[in-house]
Structure 1
Amino acid sequence: MLFNGGEKLILLKRDPPKKLLLANALLRRLDPNHELFSYYTNLSNRLQAGFQGEKRVDRHWLEITNLDKHYLLFNYECFNEFGFPHQIDTLLLTSKFLLIIDIKNISGRIDYDEDKHQLIRTNIDGSFDSFSSPFDQVIRHGQYFTRVFNQLKIPLPIECAIISSNPSTIIGNMPKHPLFFHVSGLRFYINKLVSNYDSVLSAQEMDRISKFLMANLKRQEPKVEIPIEHLRKGVLCEICNFKVQMQYRRGTWCCSKCGVRNKKAIFQALDDYRLLINDRITNQEFRDFFGVHSVYTASKVLLRLGLPTVGENRGRNYLIPENIIEGGPF
């Protein structure tokens, strides 16, 4: 649990979405001529723009100082009683209300067709794009929490809002509820909610709900089914835009093209392996993927990485943690 200020408790921080990490790993490992390379390029660009938009919205919470003790959960995911997922950009839990926020980073002019439940963007050149209804999405989230709170006998009002993180977006015809507004209006929207509601939860009840939310956190695990033979193997040189496989020499990784030497380049490569292939690796798999021919050298490298292990001798697997990219004992 992280604390930000005296009464603001951030239970879930904003991490890059797993789909974005997967797409970026594939862009490092796929040949540019691969049939799926352009697809993952577009996916990465779209997800990166959305992630940056979410972070722009997150910064505005620092200026909201009129809330009593409250909890923020970014990128909250769970499954409902029917087994279907809910992915929520931001949850705000207060003693007065629960706020569900969906964040959109869409340029151009956007209008909503209520009869067709369709968000329509008008581009500068006059062309149109359609998007699924964010209104249906946040209302569905709200209905789920209404069912949950009714079951738990929690009399907490639930509010929903859709926020545009792109300052150039022109918000056209929209329903009156839930509200769709620019991020600059977040502080004023929160002020209005605070004024409209009275506290219905004690600090102990809020703590209980926050623990319930965290206990029910369950993320979807996106998977990529691309044969390993389609992937570039090895530790790839970042300076050469991940086009050149580096060689292990005397305790470091060396690029034969640009001459760079980098002990930490292995961490990005291991993270790619974790995302695209498996979160555990044997000595033989390490040698095959990273181009290390000696069993002894591979054992020494894996030992220096300090990875946790399961099994013994030839059955030993080295576990690749999610934070491997942050580095190890080197």
Structure 2
Amino acid sequence: MRVRSLAACLGLLLCHAMAFGATSSPDAEPLQRAQLAIAKLYGAGRVAGLEGYQTGGFFPGSPVLVVTADSAALDGGRVTLVDAYGERCEARVTGRDASTGLVLLECPESYEAPSHFQLAETVTPRPAQRVWALSNCFGVAAGDELVTVQRGRIAALAPMPTATDPEQYRPTLGVPEPGATVLMLDAVTSNPGAAGGVVVDTDGVLLGVLGAECQSPTTGAWINYALPVEAVNAAIERIRAGSAPDRDPLRDAFRTGRLFAHSGLGLIPRINARTPAYVERVEPGSPADNAGCEPDDLIVAVDGATVGAVDSATAAIERGFTRRQTAVLTLLRGEQLVTITLRGDAP
């Protein structure tokens, strides 16, 4: 985490250094035009401790359309949008496309965006191509401030990685499905608040949309990627036609099925690597129900070892089931700690 944070800080310092020389650069005009087409989004997700801010890009449409990546910040159905001039409006979620992790927002008809991107289907990104990544990573920009710019190159066009064991796959909001072709970048773009940002070429032409933070399921390394514009086009068309697959929190939470099948305990959907291990569902008459688990319990430890997120909690419980068919859970229920013994079959 320290290495990732240091790399991100160095990237931001480089961005600011580039900004001072922007007026003399031939890239300045298209870059600034692209920055005007980026908005800051502020919402209130349902899970405490996760970012309530991110980035969105303006696209042609009436009323104004904004495309961003799915996240807990959008769970309220409405967000506050702040554009590059500091103008504010309320944007509402009109649809989601679960296969790409993208969300379409609409602004009021009275609102006028300062600029927008053209969705050019003929754009063909290529490896080693020089690009700019624009986003409000770390929530640095506020009011009429322009978003952060990171310079880099397209490392490769490659499929999103997936777990070697499909049973270990846990979906993340705002991330394309495994196997989807994405632009792999050599810039550190997998940062809080960057989701929904864009990648453009040196002429300011849109190449892709940044997805949510994502780690490799096999190595744990952070993946810096963007969904190519062709896939963005297709997702927008599906959403507007009403044919896009929407996300279902309960389906996502229990997609692997193993923990729920062996204990009747269902945890909340994995939003990102820091998603806390809250109990979403307890099947009546199940081992979890008999042990005394309740919805909204927060699992803070398993077999005496602290767990910090839903992934680590799930893995620890499954290890307990494998070794002795039990797992001792320490739960935070309101302001009280409760200890229970959960019994289940080996996964």
| Greater percentage in strand | 2
Give the structure with the higher percent helix: 1
TM-score (norm 1): 0.24
Give the TM-score, by structure 2 length: 0.23
Q: Which has the higher Rg, Structure 1 or Structure 2?
A: 1
